[in-house]
Amino acid sequence: MKEKADALAGLPGYRWDVDIEKTGEEGGCRMKRKADAHQRDQVWNDLSAGQKKAVSVSLKKEIVALIDAAGSGHIGGSMSSLDLLLALYGTAHISPGCMEDAGRDRIIVSMGHISPAYYCVLAEYGFISKEELFEKYRRLPGVFEGHPSNLAPGVEWCNGCLGQGLSQGCGAAIAQRLQGQKESRVYVLMGDGEQSKGQIQEAIELAAKEHLSNLVAIVDQNGQQASGSTKEVLPVPIRERYRGAGWKVIEINGHDYDQICDAFAEAKASDVPTCILADTVMGKDIPGIEHDWHYHGARLDAGQVKEALAHLDELLAALPEVKLPLRSWSGIRKHNPAGTVSFTCGEAVRVYRQEEKTDGRRVCAQALADFARCNPAGSMCVLDCDLAGGLGIDCLNAIRPGTMLECGIQEHNALSTAGGIAAGGVRTFYMGFGMFALAEPFNQLRVIDQNHIPLKIIASHCGVDVGQDGKSHQMIDYIALSNALLGSELMIPADPNQADRALRYLAGTDRPGILALPRSVFPVLTDEQGEILFGEAYSYEYGRADWIRRGCDAVIITYGIMVQKALEARQMLEAEGLTCGILNLTAPKCLDEEKIREAAETGTVVVIEDHNRRSGLGSLVGTFLAEQGISCVYRSLGVEKYGISAGPEAQFTYQNLTEGHLADVVREGIRACREKG
C-alpha cells in the first residue's frame, strides 16, 4: 500500500483517501457513509473534557515536531486554531468516506498558513497518513504544501491568499441550496487579521442578501497578525460588521469545547448566516510565545522546541489517557471531491444568418437561455455583477428561477463565489465585461485555477472596440492573463455561429475555460461560395484552427473581430494579383501547429490582433516559429499604446489596425520574401 501511495503521490490529480467498502449499490454505499459519519461523531462526543484536552495537547506536540522537521511553518495561528478545528471535524458531517457525497458538510480554511494544525487534525480523523505527512510536509512531491493543497484528502480548497475563504464558502452554501441539501452546512475558518480585507465585507453582504443560513463563519480571534497586534496594525469592528449586515453573531472562548459545540448547535438552528467569534491565544500552550505576534511565522529554535515538548509532556501527564489517533488511516484512492450535477447543452444549435446583426454577448445569452430551458432547476448558475441588462442575461430567472445570481458590483467576491458553486458540482458561468471578468479579479481566478475548479468565464468587451468608454474599459490583456492561468482553456470565436458552438463546447466540458468576445456586432462568416462557414453541421474543436480563405502568397493569422479586417485586406491585395490566406486561430493557448507550419510554407506570415502586441498571439506564434526553426518572413500587428475615447473604427485607426495598414504590411512581407529568394 505504501509503495502505491508513494507512486501516486507525485501525480497531479491523485488524492490520498480512505478506501470505503462498496456494497454494490449506490444506495448501500451512501448508507455506509452516513453510518461512517455517525460513528465518527460518537468518537469525539464520547470523550470527556479532559480527554479532549489530551487530544489537543498531543496534536500540539505533533505540530511543534512537524514544523521543526520541515524547517518552516506557522506555529502561532496553528496553536490558536487547533481546538476549533478539532471540534469542527469532530461534529461536522464529513469523513474520509463521504468526500464524494454531495450532502456532506464543507469545511473551508481561509487562513492557509495554519496548515500544520489543519493537516494534523486531518490525520487525527483518518483523512491522511500521519507517517506520510511527517515525511512530505513542505517537501516534494508537494502533496502537503505549506499552504493547504486539495491534493490532500479533506482539503476542500487550496488557500494561501487571505480574504477569499468566505466568498468560497458563500458559493459552497449556494451550491448546497441549489441541490436541495437542506441539512448540509458550510463552515469557513478565518483569522481576525484577514477581516480587514474588502472581499470579506462583500461576502458578508452577499450571504445576508441570499439568506445563507447554512453558512457558518468562524473567526480565530487571537488578536495578533504578522506585523503586530490587530489593534495596532488595523483595528476592524468585526462584530459590528457581521451583525450590521444581519448575521447572527456568537461570541465564545475558542479553547472551551463546550462553548464551541454549543455555538455549532446554535448556528445550525439559525435562520440567518452565523458568525462565531472565538477568542483564542496565539501560540496557545507554548511557553514564551503566547500572545506574541512575532510567532505568526517565526520558527522555534532548538532550545524552544525542547522546552515546548517538555512542557506539553507535563500537561499530558496531568490529563486522562486517550487512544490516538481518533480514526486510523486505512487506504488510498483517487476521488472527485465536488461531484457533478448532470447537465446538457441541448440537442439543437442556433444558426445565425448573414442578415442577422448581433454581437457575442447576445449570442451567449441566447445559449445560456437554451441551457436553462433544457436543464432542471439547480443544475446551473450564472453570476452577474450589475450588468445583466447589458449582457442580455436578465431573462434567465424568468426561464428557470434561481438560474442567475445577482452579486452587485463586487467582482472579487463574485468570482470566488462562482468558484465555490462550481466546486459544489453545479455547472457555473460568470459573465461580465473583460476588464471586470479577467483583469480586476485575476488573483481570484488564479486561486480557482489552482484548485482545478471547472468555472466557465464569458468575457465580453475584449479588445479596443469598446470605443467611447475609453482606455479604462479596453481589455487588451485577455490572452496574456488567460495564458497565466495554467489550467484554463481560452476561446476567441470569429463570428456569432462560432461563438454559439464554442460556448456549447465549453459548457459541456468538465474543465475551466474562458470565452473572450468583442463588444461590436460581428458579421456572420461565409465561405467563397457564400455558404455559412460555421453552419449547423459545424462542431467546435478546441485547438483546431480554421481556414477562412486559402492563399499562396501569404497568410494572415488572426482571431475574433479581426478576421473581418483580414478579409477586407485580402480583397485589396487580390486587386493586385496577390492571394492571401486567412487562418482563424481561436485557441491561442493551444496552437494548431500543423496549420501554422502550412501557413509558413507561403513564405510570409502576418499576425493581426486587437491585443497588447507584446503578450498576445503574435508573440506566441513568433516564439513557435523561432523554436521550430521555421524560416519565413514574419510580421505582427497589435495594440502598441493605450486607447482613446472614440468609436471602434477610430480606435483601429489610432492603433494602426486598419485593413489598409494590414494590406501594406502583408505586401511588404511578400516583397521581402521574394527578395530573400
Residue 9, pLDDT score: 34
CA distance 489 to 394: 26
In the chain, count H helices and then E strands.
25, 18
pLDDT in tens, 455-480: 999 999 999 999 888 999 999 999 99
Q: Residue 192 in contact with residue 232, Cβ under 8 Å?
A: no
As a whole number, mean pLDDT of residues 584-602 equals 98
User: Above 90 in pLDDT, residue 1?
Assistant: no
Distance between the two ends of the chain, CA-based, in angstroms? Answer: 65
Q: Which residues contact 594 (CB under 8 A, 6 or more apart)?
A: none
- The residues spanned by each domain of the chain are 2-317, 360-516, 546-676
User: Model confidence at 339, in pLDDT bands (50, 70, 90)?
Assistant: low
As a whole number, mean pLDDT of residues 163-170 equals 97
26-30, 591-595, 616-620: the lowest-pLDDT one:
26-30
pTM for the model: 0.92
User: Above 60 in pLDDT, residue 30?
Assistant: no
Residue 24, pLDDT score: 33
Residue 28, pLDDT score: 29
User: Model confidence at 335, in pLDDT bands (50, 70, 90)?
Assistant: low
Please state which of the four CATH numbers 3.65.10.10, 3.10.20.30, 3.20.20.70, 3.40.50.970 is assigned to the domain occupying 360-516: 3.40.50.970
User: Above 90 in pLDDT, residue 264?
Assistant: yes
41-55, 221-235, 371-385: the lowest-pLDDT one:
41-55
108-112, 150-154, 183-187, 263-267: the lowest-pLDDT one:
150-154
User: Model confidence at 213, in pLDDT bands (50, 70, 90)?
Assistant: very high
Residue 584, pLDDT score: 98
As a whole number, mean pLDDT of residues 535-561 equals 97
User: Model confidence at 189, in pLDDT bands (50, 70, 90)?
Assistant: very high
Residue 408, pLDDT score: 97
Q: Residue 99 in contact with residue 125, Cβ under 8 Å?
A: no
Q: Which residues contact 608 (CB under 8 A, 6 or more apart)?
A: 556, 557, 558, 562, 565, 566, 636, 637, 638, 657, 662
User: Model confidence at 23, in pLDDT bands (50, 70, 90)?
Assistant: very low
Out of 13-27, 144-158, 436-450, the most confident range is 436-450
16-30, 292-306, 381-395, 492-506: the lowest-pLDDT one:
16-30
Task: Reduce the DSSP state of residue 521 to 3 states and report it.
Answer: strand
User: Model confidence at 26, in pLDDT bands (50, 70, 90)?
Assistant: very low
What Cα–Cα distance (Å) separates residue 161 from each residue in 18, 122, 221, 619? 29, 21, 18, 31
Residue of 150, 5, 142 whose CA lies nearest to 70: 142
What Cα–Cα distance (Å) separates residue 286 from each residue in 14, 61, 229, 399, 619? 36, 10, 18, 59, 55
User: Above 60 in pLDDT, residue 490?
Assistant: yes
Which grid coordinates belong to 509?
466540458
pLDDT in tens, 369-401: 999 999 999 999 999 999 999 999 999 999 999
Give me the residue label for grid cell 495561528: 77
As a whole number, mean pLDDT of residues 144-156 equals 90
As a whole number, mean pLDDT of residues 22-28 equals 31
Residue 42, pLDDT score: 62
Residue 581, pLDDT score: 98
1-10, 248-257, 342-351: the lowest-pLDDT one:
1-10
Residue 141, pLDDT score: 78
Residue 38, pLDDT score: 39
What crossing angle do the helices spanning 411-423 and 198-209 adopt, rounded to 10°?
Answer: 60
Helices (H), 350-441: 360-374, 388-391, 396-399, 411-423, 434
Residue 139 has a CB neighbour count (10 Å cut-off) of 13
User: Model confidence at 8, in pLDDT bands (50, 70, 90)?
Assistant: very low
CATH number for the region 2-317 comes to: 3.40.50.970
Residue 84, pLDDT score: 98
CA distance 218 to 109: 10
Please state which of the four CATH numbers 3.40.50.920, 3.40.50.300, 3.40.50.970, 1.10.101.10 is assigned to the domain occupying 546-676: 3.40.50.920
Residue 114, pLDDT score: 96
Residue 160, pLDDT score: 87
As a whole number, mean pLDDT of residues 4-29 equals 31
Of all residues in the chain, what percent carry a pLDDT higher than 70?
92
Residue 11, pLDDT score: 30
pLDDT in tens, 80-128: 999 999 999 999 999 998 888 889 999 999 999 999 999 999 999 999 9
Q: Residue 617 in contact with residue 585, Cβ under 8 Å?
A: yes
Residue 330, pLDDT score: 64
Strand order in the sheet with 604-612: 546-549, 580-584, 554-558, 604-612, 633-639
Residue 39, pLDDT score: 42
pLDDT in tens, 443-456: 999 999 999 999 99
Strands 554-558 and 489-491: unpaired
Helices (H), 508-575: 562-574
What is the average pLDDT value for the chain, to the nearest integer?
A: 91
User: Above 70 in pLDDT, residue 41?
Assistant: no
User: Model confidence at 677, in pLDDT bands (50, 70, 90)?
Assistant: confident
Q: What is the DSSP string of 105-134?
A: -EEEES-GGGHHHHHHHHHHTTSS-HHHHH
pLDDT in tens, 311-333: 999 999 999 999 999 998 866 54
Of all residues in the chain, what percent carry a pLDDT higher than 90?
86
